[in-house]
Amino acid sequence: MAQQTVTTDLPPGPKPAEALRADAERNRQRILAAAHRLFSREGLGVSMTAVAHEADVGNATLFRRFATKELLIEAVFKDRVDVYNNLVTTCSKNPDPWQGFTDYVQCVCTLQASDPAFLEVLTLTFPDGTVETRRAEAERHVLDLISQAKEIGHLRQDFSERDLTILLMANSGVLRAAGATSDASRRLTAQLLRAYATRDAPPVALPKAPPRAELYHAMIRLLRGHST
């Protein structure tokens, strides 16, 4: 009997090099996702070993992808830095500098609620690269926005860019206690903007205060957290 050749419709398997590249990319994405989870929960102080454990990869694999922690942080937050930079650029181009300033403050507090670790990134100086360029560019736009809002007489002259840091510190505490979905953060932001405004500035809309019960439970959580 003549020998028959068996054929199938299955596609050829990936070449070894292609399989290695796909595996490396999967590891990279797992590392980035794990790092973002840890940074969001615990801040940027987590160790590279903790990131490797969270991603279920070895330390050697982690350091092949990201030789330093700074490079890992840069990769995790690159897209968010771009979003932040675009936000600042848009606000700085508002023909009404006071409106641009208030929009910026309210939006950056919303970013803080959605990604608590992100604003910590803005306090760092990265090695020369895209993230550092974009971060420095955004910082210049914020300073210009503050100056313009003062020039038109709507932002108090004694306002300092360091007051933004204080605002974000306060907002961070409110978010930890009350949660990102609470009206407490938006209420705090609006009240502080009203405090920064001159008498001639257009009023900032004030969101409703959260229910008393919500604030009571938030305060209890905060106090219990401090006592541990």
Residue 193, domain extent = 77-220
Residue 10 confidence (pLDDT) above 50: no
- Helix, strand, or coil (residue 74): helix
What is the rounded average pLDDT of the residues 29-54? Answer: 91
**pLDDT cut 90: percent of the chain above it:** 47
Domain count within the chain: 2
Residue 48 confidence (pLDDT) above 90: yes
Reported confidence tier of residue 16, pLDDT bands at 50, 70, 90: low
Asked if residue 6 is part of any domain, the answer here is: no
pLDDT score for 222:
76
Reported confidence tier of residue 111, pLDDT bands at 50, 70, 90: confident
pLDDT score for 91:
94
Q: Check whether residue 86 and residue 181 sit in a common domain.
A: yes
Residue 56, φ and ψ in degrees, nearest 5: 60, 45
Using a 10 angstrom Cβ sphere, with 0-12 exposed, 13-18 middle and 19 or more buried, the burial of residue 35 is: buried
Comparing C-alpha atoms, which of 32, 71, 69 is closest to residue 54? 32
What is the rounded average pLDDT of the residues 72-100? Answer: 91
Residue 5 confidence (pLDDT) above 60: no
Q: Check whether residue 126 and residue 205 sit in a common domain.
A: yes
Asked if residue 4 is part of any domain, the answer here is: no
Q: Please indicate whether residue 31 or residue 83 has the higher confidence score (pLDDT).
A: 31
**43: domain CATH number?**
1.10.10.60
